[in-house]
Structure 1
């Protein structure tokens, strides 16, 4: 039982990270119709900024704040410079462009900081006793911070004027424009928010994995599995899908085989999509032909 509790807490912590990244992807996609493959590379850039601040004697918490800010600002610049000129409806072109941006950012990180692995300090150390189980404090903090961030996003979209504007643009940018909502302003905010969530997820993930230029490649694909499982257009689906992926992969790694955890997760995701192509919480769309 104690072993299962450790596996479950670790899985929820992993899932919370995937859920944050997935939430960032969905927010950007709903506002701008862009599947942002550069999200992980930009968040990794933020991680290296944080570690540079730490090496300069700045408190780690301020380094995390700097990572989030830099990731959001650079992301908005990328959107304005290379995504916005493509225009609306260029889903495939934007996808290819974000892949190119990802490779460019990784190359910049390699050039400035090198490819040697670095350690990324935990936000907290130690363990918390629960019966006979010793739960890592970092995992519990990860779950708490992710839950707070997700609750803040839910409040933003559900209870604020800005959230209403973002939902309106997600439904129809042209209609929102007619009632005086600036779709471009909302798009910039969505990119900043989505990338800020990704940077936060990266700072929670890096202490357990170490820091290399491709550190977020695996979490990005698991976040994609989560959003396809939950539904590409559903923010709640992104969170629940990410949590599901995190728990499933940890159970598979602990009770089946570590080498089969991704096979188990993606097989389950494919099975769900075969039964329900729009995902668990996605909306089925119809197109006249």
Structure 2
């Protein structure tokens, strides 16, 4: 039982990271119909900015805040420079461009910071005793911070005027325009918010994984699995799907084989999608023919 609780906490901590990244992806997708494959690279650049700030003597929390702000700005700049000029309806072109942006950002990271892995400071140190074992405080903080961030996003979309406007654009950009809403402004906010969440997830993940140019490649892959499992258009689904993926992979690695954990997780995801193609929380779509 003790081991199960430890595995469960570790899984929820990992899943919280995947859920935050997935939430960022869904917010951007719902507002602009763009699947941002550059999200991991952009968040990694923000992570290196935070690392550089800590090396310059900044406190870790201050550096993380700087990274979150930097990621939001990077997201807005990329959206305005390379996505907006495409106009609406060019979804495949936008998808390819985000892949190209990812390669460019990766090249910049290699040029400025190199490719050697390094450590990233934890936001908090220490452990909490649990029976004969211990749980890292960083893992508990990851769960708590992710929960607060997700709750804040839920409050934004459910209880504020800005959230109502963003939901209106997500439902129908043309209808929102007739009501006087500026979809371009909403898109900028969505990209900034989505990238801020991704950077926060990166800063929570890096103390455990270390820092390298490809540190977020695997979490992005699992975040995509989470949003497909939960439903591509559902923000709640992105969170629940990400946490589910995190818990399943830790259970599979502990009670099965670490080498087959991804096989188990993605086999489960495919099985769910075969039964429910729109995901657990996604809405069915109907097309008139």
Under a length normalisation based on structure 2, what TM-score does the superposition of the two structures give? 0.99
Q: 1:262-287, CA deviations, whole angstroms, 9 ceiling, x for partnerless residues?
A: 11111000000000000000011112
CA distance in 1, matches of 2:261, 2:24: 24
Q: After superposition, where does 1:106-121 map in structure 2 within 5 Å?
A: 106-121=106-121
Residue number in structure 2 paired with 1:216: 216
Secondary structure of residue in 2 paired with 1:37? coil
Q: After superposition, where does 1:42-191 map in structure 2 within 5 Å?
A: 42-191=42-191
Unaligned runs of 5+ in 1: none
1:22/1:238 contact within 8 Å kept = yes
Q: Which piece of structure 1 moves more, 127-136 or 35-44?
A: 127-136
CA distance in 1, matches of 2:100, 2:214: 15
Residue number in structure 2 paired with 1:278: 278
Residue number in structure 2 paired with 1:225: 225
Secondary structure of residue in 2 paired with 1:180? coil
Residue number in structure 2 paired with 1:18: 18
Secondary structure of residue in 2 paired with 1:13? helix
CA distance in 2, matches of 1:210, 1:147: 23
Q: Which piece of structure 1 moves more, 155-164 or 59-68?
A: 59-68
Instruction: Give the ranges of 4+ consecutive aligned residues of structure 1 lying more than 3 Å apart after TM superposition.
Output: none
Displacement after TM superposition at 1:126 (Å): 1.1
1:5/1:133 contact within 8 Å kept = no
Secondary structure of residue in 2 paired with 1:8? helix
Aligned residue pairs, count: 289
Displacement after TM superposition at 1:133 (Å): 3.2
Q: 1:98-119, CA deviations, whole angstroms, 9 ceiling, x for partnerless residues?
A: 0110010000000000001110
CA distance in 1, matches of 2:87, 2:262: 36
Secondary structure of residue in 1 paired with 2:108? helix
Displacement after TM superposition at 1:2 (Å): 1.0
CA distance in 2, matches of 1:135, 1:210: 19
Displacement after TM superposition at 1:129 (Å): 1.6
CA distance in 1, matches of 2:138, 2:58: 20
Q: 1:152-181, CA deviations, whole angstroms, 9 ceiling, x for partnerless residues?
A: 000000000000000000000110011011
CA distance in 2, matches of 1:72, 1:105: 15
